[in-house]
Amino acid sequence: MTQTASVTDTLTSVDPATGAVVGEWPVDDAEAVRAAVAAARAAARAWVGLGFDGRKKALLRWKAHLVNHADELCELVRRENGKPLDDAYLELALTVEHIDWAAKNARKALAPRKVRPGPLTANFAGVVEQRPLGVVGVIGPWNYPLYTPNGSIAYALAAGNAVVYKPSEYTTAIGHYFAAAFAKANPELPDGIIAVVTGRGETGAALVRSGVDKIAFTGSTPTGKRIMAAAAESLTPVVLECGGKDAVIVAEDADVAAAADAVAFGAMGNSGQTCVGIERAYVVKDVLDDFLAQLKSRLAGVRAGSDAEASYGPMTMPSQVDVVAAHVKDAMARGGQAVVGGLDSIRAPYIDPVVLLDVPEDAPAVVEETFGPTLTVRAVDSAAEAVELANASKYGLGSAVFSKSHGMELARAMRAGATSVNSFIGFAAQPGMPFGGVGESGVGRIHGAAGLLEFSRPHSIARQRFSIPGLALLTFDRKPSAMALTRKITELRHGRHK
């Protein structure tokens, strides 16, 4: 939706299953965004002043508040995002694991490092200290409205930054709830340590240009490219967590039942609206029939809906239904065979599972992110061929390989930010593992120590402890003997190399 933001503009979010209004907010324009960033800058000083221990306490109180209000929060997630309550709880559980990890590991990951001086600077003591960046602007998507933005928010906070967060226009109520929980859990702290700005793309664009010290974006690749271009104008650094087209490889020696079970959930869970959801399967031909049979049986009874028995909910964003329909239609027109579901499976806002066999490798269903409960399956001669086809994508976010004997070898060959061996999404559930993509899947990493380092900057401090008589080099009074000694040291250290 394109429109000019103004103070009179409002944003309404709705239940994607029923269209019932969940909340209505005034849209923040560029001036309101700048004001939020200025307030966050003031709050950042108090937050930094707490040190690692004080911040850890505040983050752990936040975590406990979220868990203790889980029923209310999960119900809100169900209403505004559409996912079943158990899926909402699972998302919350993973979210608090990450808050906990970031809070407890920030001190170690961001500890100062002593640097040994070289012989020409033997009189120096060197240390590299990590400093917070200041204010981090976080722009989030709607598909995992707690877990995905939190991958930036918790780690930025633990590293000592304040956060200005723009949730997706589809999950604004959840975004406000998440940030308000921090304030409720920490009433003694100043406002604005996590500030929320509300709006659509225009508000996000205003945040990029607001003078924040870094933008942490999670969303689609086209938006990521626009954000990177806008951020370049002020050299604002970015971490971009974008789209994917994750592949699974099922090798000749795979546990086929385990692979089919993981692929069924990995492709269809959350209505396929998972950045690291499985969208392509490359299956070694010897096990194809077995794999397809097991996948079909695993998917029997799996369906979309909003009733208590439904496996997953509606598509959260109405326009995505059209993308899924276009991909399926095109794939079938090009000879793809629907072995589970088909065009009839699309009954907006719900889409039941669709599995397509033998879709040409240049079809949108194989090349572009579908972001729905669909899967393409292709038979290959060998796992090596599967690796080649999997890696041919412009994306490189997650991946999965199934093999009893050479899973690690296959994993190492994948051009992706992360790989699960004999499982689906194992890396995303472990807070210590960096998360992010290669190619058009993004830039930088969230989660783990790398995720904490993303939200800090190294500050190198070299302290001269004494002067070395006869080796004063950085002065106009430099003596010829000092240069003679320098030559000797350099020749001795670097002149002989075989």
* By CB under 6 A, residue 241 contacts ligand NAD: yes
Please answer whether residues 472 and 458 qualify as being in contact, where contact means their C-beta atoms are separated by less than 8 angstroms. Answer: no
* By CB under 6 A, residue 36 contacts ligand NAD: no
**Which one of the listed residues 242, 275, 369, 454 is annotated catalytic?**
275
Position among 132, 134, 192, 201 found at the interface with ligand NAD (CB under 6 A): 201
Closest approach of Cβ 264 to ligand NAD, in Å? 20
Closest approach of Cβ 21 to ligand NAD, in Å? 19
By beta-carbon proximity to ligand NAD, the closer residue of 81 and 311 is 81
Q: What is the DSSP letter of 344?
A: G
> Of 295, 297, 285, which is closest to residue 358 (Cα–Cα)?
285
Position among 27, 397, 411, 453 found at the interface with ligand NAD (CB under 6 A): 397
User: Could you give the string, one character per residue 355-394, with x where binding to ligand NAD holds by CB under 6 A and - elsewhere?
Assistant: --------------x-x-----------------------
By three-state DSSP, how is residue 82 classified?
coil
Please answer whether residues 128 and 460 qualify as being in contact, where contact means their C-beta atoms are separated by less than 8 angstroms. Answer: yes
Please answer whether residues 142 and 11 qualify as being in contact, where contact means their C-beta atoms are separated by less than 8 angstroms. Answer: no
Helix (H) or strand (E) holding 388: helix 383-390
DSSP β-ladder status, 10-14 and 21-26: antiparallel
275 has catalytic annotation: yes
* By CB under 6 A, residue 275 contacts ligand NAD: yes
Which range in 27-35, 143-151, 406-414, 450-458 contacts ligand NAD by CB under 6 A? 143-151
* By CB under 6 A, residue 28 contacts ligand NAD: no
By beta-carbon proximity to ligand NAD, the closer residue of 294 and 374 is 374
CA distance 332 to 226: 32
Closest approach of Cβ 442 to ligand NAD, in Å? 6
* By CB under 6 A, residue 141 contacts ligand NAD: yes
By beta-carbon proximity to ligand NAD, the closer residue of 156 and 292 is 156
By beta-carbon proximity to ligand NAD, the closer residue of 268 and 397 is 397
By beta-carbon proximity to ligand NAD, the closer residue of 47 and 424 is 424
Closest approach of Cβ 374 to ligand NAD, in Å? 14
Burial 334-346 (b: 16+ CB within 10 A, else e): bebebbbbbeebb
Residue 173 burial (10 A CB sphere; 0-12, 13-18, 19+): buried
Residue 12 burial (10 A CB sphere; 0-12, 13-18, 19+): exposed
Give, as ranges, the residues between 446 and 475 that touch ligand NAD (CB under 6 A).
Answer: none
Closest approach of Cβ 45 to ligand NAD, in Å? 27
* By CB under 6 A, residue 174 contacts ligand NAD: no
Which residue bears the tokens 């190294």?
458
User: Could you give the string, one character per residue 292-321, with x where binding to ligand NAD holds by CB under 6 A and - elsewhere?
Assistant: -------------------------x----
CA distance 138 to 148: 10
Please answer whether residues 192 and 36 qualify as being in contact, where contact means their C-beta atoms are separated by less than 8 angstroms. Answer: yes
241 has catalytic annotation: yes
DSSP β-ladder status, 21-26 and 350-351: unpaired
* By CB under 6 A, residue 98 contacts ligand NAD: no
* By CB under 6 A, residue 193 contacts ligand NAD: no
**Tokens coding 270:** 């959350």
User: Helices 288-299 and 256-268, interaxial angle, to 10°?
Assistant: 50
Which range in 22-30, 114-122, 184-192, 222-230 contacts ligand NAD by CB under 6 A? 222-230
**Tokens coding 360:** 């040409």
* By CB under 6 A, residue 423 contacts ligand NAD: no
**Which one of the listed residues 80, 169, 202, 241 is annotated catalytic?**
241
Contacts 24+ apart (CB under 8 A), 482-490: 486/120, 489/119, 489/120
* By CB under 6 A, residue 168 contacts ligand NAD: yes
* By CB under 6 A, residue 349 contacts ligand NAD: no
H-type alpha helices, 70-200: 70-81, 85-109, 147-158, 172-185
Please answer whether residues 202 and 31 qualify as being in contact, where contact means their C-beta atoms are separated by less than 8 angstroms. Answer: no
* By CB under 6 A, residue 219 contacts ligand NAD: yes
Burial 418-457 (b: 16+ CB within 10 A, else e): bbbbbbbbbbbbebebbbbbebbbbbbbbbbbbbbbbbbb
Closest approach of Cβ 394 to ligand NAD, in Å? 13
* By CB under 6 A, residue 192 contacts ligand NAD: no
Which range in 154-162, 196-204, 257-265, 297-305 contacts ligand NAD by CB under 6 A? 196-204
Q: Which residues are the active-site residues?
A: 241, 275
> Which residue ranges make up the site for ligand NAD (CB under 6 A)?
139-144, 148, 166, 168-169, 200-201, 204-205, 208, 218-220, 223, 226-227, 241-244, 275, 317, 369, 371, 397, 437, 442
